Amino acid sequence: MNAFLTYLWIQLKMDVRDRAILLHFYLVPLLFFFVMGAVFSSINPLMGATLAASMTIFSVTMGAVMGLPAPIVRMRESGTLRAFEVNGIPGLAVLSVQAVSAFIHLFLVSAVIYTTSPLLFHSEIPQSPGLYFAVLAVFLAASIGIGLLIGVVARNQSFATMLSMVIFLPSLLLSGIMFPASMLPTSFMWLGRIFPATYALQSFLGLAYQTTTNMDATLSLGIVAGMGLLVFALAIRWFGSVRRGERS
C-alpha cells in the first residue's frame, strides 16, 4: 500500500506538469463551465437551475474520455509499461494509479463547479448534497472505466482520439445536458441511452435535485454503476490479453 501511495503521489505531481492533463481535466472544462454557465443562466433558467450537474457531467466526460486514454497509450507505445513490469510493478497497478489520479483530478474540478455555480450563476443547491456526491462518485468511476478501456484498446494515439470523440460528442449532444433530450428525434433519444452521461443526468436530477425525470432516477444510477463494472471488467480483460500477446 505504501508503494502504491508513493507512486500515486509521484503521478499526481507529474500530472501537474503535463499540459495535456491540465487542458483536458481543468482548463477546458472550467472555461466551458464559465461561458456556458452565463449562457444557460440567461437563456434557459430551467437548465441554469441545475447547472452544476450538467457542467459536471461535461467535465467528467471530457477528462475521463478525452484526457485519460492518451497517457496509457503513450506508456504502451514507449515501452514504459514493459519497463514497469520488468522492475516488478504489474501493469494493472499502473492502470490503477492512472484511474485513481484521474478520479482525484475530476473530483476536484467537479467540486469547484459545485461550489461556484450558486455563487456565479445563482443555480440551485441540490436538496440532497450527499446523494449528489454519491451520483458523482458512481459516474466518475464509470467514465474512468471507459477511459481505461479506450486506452488499452487503442493501438495508437490517433485511434485513441477517434474512439474518444465517438464517445464524447454523443455524450455531450444526446444526454440532455446541452438541451432537453425530449427535443431530440426518438431514434437519437434511444441512441443517447447507450452512454452513461444520459443516466447520470437523470440520477442527478431525480436523486439530488428531486425534480421530475424522464427515467427512474434510482434505476438510472444502477445502470451507470452496471456500465462502470462492465467497462472495468472489459478493460482488465483486454489489457491482460494485450500484454500476453506482446510477450509472445
pLDDT at 18: 83
Please measure the distance between the N-terminal and C-terminal CA atoms of the chain and give it in whole angstroms.
Answer: 31
Q: pLDDT tens digits for 146-172?
A: 999 999 998 888 899 999 999 999 998
Cell of 127: 436538496
Instruction: Provide the number of structural domains found in the chain.
Output: 1
Residue 129's pLDDT band, with cuts at 50, 70 and 90, is: very high
Q: pLDDT tens digits for 52-97?
A: 999 999 999 999 999 999 888 888 888 777 777 777 777 788 889 9
Residues in the chain: 248
Range of the domain at 78: 2-247
Whether the pTM exceeds 0.95: the reply is no
